[in-house]
């Protein structure tokens, strides 16, 4: 108890990626754009928490953030940016498609559970 937990390499990279995708947008504007893209409310405090590595956002958030960042992904930190910068953009696109499919499956599963709970 009371021990400090260092951030994992993964959470550090995710935090850097979220911060890089926000770019020059204010935290509030970025949260609003994420809300629009995802169809659910995202608060600026959540964005700040992700950027500081306190919480790791889900794949749906990362995909929405990448969509907001636009086509200039080469400047994003690795693992996202490194692949594009080294010419392995096809690998990145394939991984993004895989993530999109997984997110869609999870959303469908969530809807089925919500429907089942409503039916009780």
Segment 98-118, tens digit of pLDDT? 888 888 889 898 889 988 898
Domains and CATH numbers, the chain: 9-118 (1.10.260)
On the question of pLDDT at 120 being above 80, the answer is: no
- Phi (first) and psi of residue 72, to 5 degrees: -85, 70
71 sits in the region (left: phi over 0; alpha: psi -120 to 50; else beta) called alpha
Rounded to two decimals, the pTM is 0.56
**Half-sphere CA count of 120, side-chain side, radius 13 A:** 5
3-47 residue pLDDT tens = 344 557 777 888 888 888 888 889 999 999 999 988 999 999 999
**Is 33 in contact with 25 (CB distance < 8 Å)?**
yes
So what's the pLDDT on residue 60?
Answer: 86
Rounded CA-CA distance 84/109 in Å is 32
Rounded CA-CA distance 65/34 in Å is 7
45-101 residue pLDDT tens = 999 999 988 888 888 888 888 888 776 655 665 554 444 455 555 667 778 888 888
So what's the pLDDT on residue 87?
Answer: 52
Task: State both tokens at 28.
Answer: 């509030």
So what's the pLDDT on residue 88?
Answer: 57
Rounded CA-CA distance 111/98 in Å is 20
Rounded CA-CA distance 2/4 in Å is 6
So what's the pLDDT on residue 65?
Answer: 87
């Amino acid at each position: 108890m009371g021990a400090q937990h260092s951030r994992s390499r993964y959470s550090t990279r995710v935090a850097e990626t979220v911060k890089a995708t926000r770019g020059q947008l204010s935290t509030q504007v970025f949260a609003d754009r994420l809300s629009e893209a995802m169809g659910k409310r995202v608060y600026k405090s959540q964005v700040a928490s992700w950027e500081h590595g306190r919480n790791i956002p889900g794949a749906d958030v990362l995909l929405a953030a990448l969509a907001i960042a636009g086509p200039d992904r080469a400047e994003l930190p690795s693992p996202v940016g490194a692949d594009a910068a080294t010419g392995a953009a096809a690998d990145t696109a394939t991984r993004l498609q895989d993530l999109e499919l997984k997110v869609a499956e999870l959303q469908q599963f969530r809807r089925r559970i919500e429907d089942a709970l409503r039916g009780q």
